[in-house]
Amino acid sequence: MIKQYSIVILLISLLGFEFSATAQQDPQYTQYMYNTQVVNPAYAGSRGTLDFAALYRSQWVGLEGAPKTGTFTFNSPIGVAENMGIGLSVVSEEIGPATESNVNIDYSYSIKVSETYTLAFGLKAGIDVLDVDFTKLNIFDEGDIFESNIDNRLQPQIGAGVYYYSNKFYAGLSVPNFLNTKHFDESEIGPTSAQTIAAERLHYFFITGYVFDLNENLKFKPALLTKMVSGSPLSVDISANFLINDKFTLGGAYRWDAAFSGMVGFQASEGLFLGMAYDRETTDLQQFNDGSWEFFVRLEIFNKPDRIYTPRFF
């Protein structure tokens, strides 16, 4: 029993601190530059189009119970001056016996601070749903927390962010969820020390990037994502992408002390973009899995003819 209990406590810890959709160190994304709305609501409406996007990530392929994450977002500018944005972001993640999903409404308000730069403020609000099916575990001595599953446990979410951008540069700072809630309490787990095993912690995201025009057919965009969580190491993702002939994207990324990544993308039409990424761990975990795959698709609907321009690259 002790061994099995320890394994589940470790799993719950992973849910609470590494992979859960609200508690993670929120879900890990390699193509974060295309998935900004999930962590920063101020991004909503910033592209000036009706924008639909979906991402699927299979992490640590070949490792049983490894995280699988799916996201869906849409957003659009609204208002007479189109200085507001509205959107929806949905994230669902499965790890071992647990599935966690959240649905949020995103709202942004933008201010033109110069001819080229805009400052947007955003709010995010929604709910998080947690399910844990302990019957999926191999338990030799059932009891304690294994006696009943966790079904549709609801938690509220409230987040906010700011986003400063032009056609060449962007920078954003956000907290997707301000609420410090707990999925498990002392009566469910047992020991007092386990009371905060799945406590939600504030996650601070900082993202920035710049697009350099190397020539008329080649653009270069370095980007940075920094994630800060109390009690956890600083997470830093550095990426560099090239856009060739406004059609093909090719690049790589490095997650500090964690993984190397390769990325490719294709602007299939004026409104359709397809992307794919592959990660390879640099930690000891690499010997137990075959890497991580990520697939991304974005569809933009241009509500005004003059909105059809060369890809903004973020």
pLDDT in tens, 276-310: 999 999 988 888 889 999 999 999 997 665 554 55
Q: Evaluate whether residue 92 is within a structural domain.
A: yes
Q: Evaluate whether residue 29 is within a structural domain.
A: yes
Q: Evaluate whether residue 235 is within a structural domain.
A: no
Higher pLDDT among residues 195 and 260, named by residue: 260
Higher pLDDT among residues 270 and 186, named by residue: 270
Whole-model pTM: value is: 0.83
Looking at residue 306, what is its pLDDT? 55
Q: Which two tokens stand for residue 173?
A: 């700072």
| Average pLDDT value over all residues in the chain | 83
Instruction: Give the burial class of 33: count Cβ atoms within 10 A of its Cβ; 0-12 exposed, 13-18 middle, 19 or more buried.
Output: buried
Looking at residue 153, what is its pLDDT? 85
Q: Evaluate whether residue 281 is within a structural domain.
A: no
Q: Evaluate whether residue 258 is within a structural domain.
A: no
Q: Evaluate whether residue 59 is within a structural domain.
A: yes
Tell me the average pLDDT across 122-136: 88
Q: Evaluate whether residue 250 is within a structural domain.
A: no
Using the predicted structure, report yes or no on whether residue 194 has a pLDDT greater than 70: no
The number of folded domains in the chain is: 1
3-state secondary structure the chain: CHHHHHHHHHHHHHHHHHHCCCCCCCCCCCCHHHCHHHCCHHHCCCCCCEEEEEEEEECCCCCCCCCEEEEEEEEEEECCCCCEEEEEEEEEEEECCEEEEEEEEEEEEEEECCCCCEEEEEEEEEEEEEEECHHHCCCCCCCHHHHCCEEEEEEEEEEEEEEEECCCEEEEEEECCCCCCECCCHHHHCCHHHCCCCECCCEEEEEEEECEEEECCEEEEEEEEEEEECCCCCEEEEEEEEEECCCEEEEEEEECCCEEEEEEEEECCCCEEEEEEEEEECCHHHHHCCCEEEEEEEEEECCCHHHCCCCCCC
Looking at residue 141, what is its pLDDT? 57
pLDDT in tens, 99-120: 999 999 999 999 999 999 999 9
210-213, long-range: CB within 8 Å, 24+ apart, which pairs?
210/168, 210/169, 211/167, 211/168, 211/169, 211/243, 211/313, 211/314
Range of the domain at 111: 2-217
Lowest mean pLDDT among 8-17, 39-48, 163-172, 232-241: 8-17
Q: What is the C-alpha separation between 153 and 68, in angstroms, rounded?
A: 20
Contacts for 190 with CB less than 8 Å, ≥ 6 apart: 144, 145
CA triple 187-191-193, angle to 5 deg? 115
Q: How confident is the model at residue 121 (pLDDT cuts 50, 70, 90)?
A: very high
Q: Evaluate whether residue 172 is within a structural domain.
A: yes
pLDDT in tens, 223-277: 999 999 877 788 999 999 999 999 999 999 999 988 999 999 999 998 899 999 9
Q: Which of 86, 66, 91 is nearest to 285 (CA)?
A: 66
